[in-house]
Amino acid sequence: MTLLETDVPIRNVITTSPEKAKALDNDVRAKVLDMLADREMTIDEIHEELTRRGEEKVETTVRHHVNVLKEAGLVEIARLEDASGGTLKYYKSNTRVFAYVLPEDSGDELTEARATVRAGVESLVEQLYRDHGETIEAVAREMKPCAYCETQHYEEFIVRELVDRALTEVGEAGTFDELTDGSA
């Protein structure tokens, strides 16, 4: 006897590598990424800021967390400076993590906006395939299977990456700030 049966649609898609997912599976590293998204910092500066945010970690632990993020490709060395007897490394995040949750009742408020986005995205995907379908499919053929997946969605992943990177570029160019006048 079935007690419950419901259709569960896909509502969220997370696109990341297992290495990046593992690197992000830590509150301290998420805080470090947040700090390094706005400015470059040394290990000592990161340590001080973490302490200010209530994370009492020794400097070697902070260095370990930064190295995990660096190995996952989420943080890079932005600058090197000569320091008394050594080299001072400044790190910067190349990744922005949005860890927000929409307000519970926002789904109804955003219904019309979502319909507008859907229509635009459908048109964009059609245009992408008209102009670049062969390239997308060629790149998809080169991709290696996901360690966790049996059903592959390579073309969808590539299109999501293209859209995500374009949105990132628009955000970094300040377009969102200009449109909202910083009112958010």
Please report the DSSP string for 119-183 in residue order: HHHHHHHHHHHHHHHHHHHHHHHHPPPPSS-SS--HHHHHHHHHHHHHHHHHHHTTHHHHHHTT-
Q: Can you list the domains of the chain with their CATH numbers?
A: 18-93 (1.10.10.10), 106-173 (no CATH)
Q: What's the pLDDT at 32?
A: 94
pLDDT mean over 104-133: 94
CA of 84: how far to CAs of 23, 41, 77, 81, 88, in Å?
A: 32, 18, 19, 10, 9
pLDDT mean over 79-104: 89
Q: What's the pLDDT at 182?
A: 56
Res. 145 pLDDT band, cuts 50 70 90: confident
Lowest mean pLDDT among 41-45, 58-62, 149-153: 149-153
Identify the CA nearest to 93 among candidates 20, 183, 181.
20
Lowest mean pLDDT among 15-19, 40-44, 101-105, 176-180: 15-19
Higher-pLDDT residue of 148, 48: 48
Q: What's the pLDDT at 59?
A: 95
State which H helix or E strand residue 83 sits in: strand 75-83
